[in-house]
Amino acid sequence: MASNPALGQTSDPLELLRQYTTQKKPVELLDNDGNLTTNLLQATTVRFGEDASFPRDTPTSYSRSNSDSDQYTLSALLHFLDHRDQSFYEYMKTTNTMGLQTVSFGDRVTLLDYLTGKSTSTGEEKQQKQLEQQQQMAVDTAVDSSRRANKARTDLVGDSGRTANDGTRDILRRERVLINTSSVVSSSKSFAKVPDLIKEIFPPKHGAKGADGKPMAPAAGALANGALAGNGVARKRVSQRKRANPIIVVPAATTAMINMYNIEELLQKHQFVDSRMIMETGGPKPREVFIDHQVTRSSQRIRVRVVDSVQDFTEADWNSLICVFTQGAAWQFKNWVWKSPEEVFQNTMGFYPKYNDERPKDSIKSWGVEVINIERTKRHMDKAAVVGLWSSIEQYLASKKPDFLN
């Protein structure tokens, strides 16, 4: 077999792929030993005949329509071309199973037209043209508004030379003031008792903020026992209420491996789905998610509430917190009642999800969190990982917050 040409340094993989697609020339895939293969996942090199060769996951010059810094890889474009006739849902399932980059729904038509030669412009050029058109429309609108305003001023001046201001002054001379901003707020009644009435009707809530504006931490005894601090009357009122749901907090970042978009798929359906796939379908981010879980070796079911913000947490919410998913960023815990990630995970359990072939971040070594390994492509392995996750949660509840299991 002839030796491979040098890896393309001056050639553009996007242009070569377009040329080979329009000319219906075969693109070859080579494995690590330099042998031909038809399996994209086994391939390490993409060869364009004698023109050039590139590593399989080389970034191309075609950017996502919603991100200038996120470019499609050569492997993503090859896979997209091979599955162009599939529905977007089927294409996403196939792409997720293979662990490849997904071409977004909004880019499909423009990208396919470019690669098959129906169009000579990329999506980026089309967006630039649309932006220029919008800017020109804004300029035209501003000019038209200015012309109309000038015409209106001209029309206000009559043959006698009287302007609109002259007419306004005539009207004001004939007006009689009945009420003004001072008299409208004047009253002979006293409102001194209003603050006391408000306190009586709306008693202060738990979880009040301190002088620095941050939420005050619950008492140590309350955190340890999962009970609200307070006098006997307050405890009696709480006991009469319906017990709160245990709470799990996930990262708010859309780039996090586990967030509000895919937490239900993971914990309820025992399947990992890339959150980007769900976001690209256009669905809104849930504000909260409720997960029903059957406790192992028990007839009891617990309902867990999942959120990604603690901004409105009351003391009862902090006491109900049982678990936190983290991506290893300390800023996730800004404005929490605990001052550091180490202190957070001394008061609740933590999970750090990652792909099984990735190394954990160094930042989590001192946090005391449990690492959850997820396969990139073997979706049938998801259930075992999630069962282990729930087992850890149940053990934590049994030892630290047994009230949720009673």
- The pLDDT tens digits of the residues spanning 258-291 come to 999 999 999 999 999 998 888 888 778 889 999 9
Q: Could you tell me if 13 and 47 are in contact, meaning their C-beta atoms sit under 8 angstroms apart?
A: no
Give the ranges where 56-160 is alpha helix by DSSP (H): 74-82, 88-98, 108-115, 123-156
Closest CA to 362 of 374, 372, 352, 350: 352
CA distance 277 to 23: 32
- The larger pLDDT score, comparing residue 51 to residue 308, is at 308
CA distance 218 to 337: 8
Q: Under DSSP, is residue 301 helix (H, G, I), strand (E, B) or coil?
A: strand
- The pLDDT tens digits of the residues spanning 107-155 come to 888 888 889 988 877 655 555 555 566 566 666 666 666 666 555 555 5
For β-strands 45-48 and 28-30, DSSP reports them as antiparallel
Band (pLDDT 50/70/90 cuts) for residue 64 is confident
Phi, psi for 45 (deg, rounded to 5): -135, 145
Task: Answer yes or no: is pLDDT of 89 > 90.
Answer: no
Give the chain's end-to-end CA distance (angstroms, integer): 71
In the chain, % helix, strand, coil (3-state, to 5) comes to 40, 15, 45
Q: Which of 43-57, 202-216, 320-334 has the lowest mean pLDDT?
A: 202-216
CA distance 11 to 291: 51
- The pLDDT tens digits of the residues spanning 196-247 come to 677 667 666 555 555 555 555 554 444 444 444 444 444 444 444 456 899 9
Please, what is the average pLDDT of the chain?
79
The secondary element (H helix, E strand) that includes residue 64 is strand 59-64
The pLDDT score that the predictor gives to residue 187 is 57
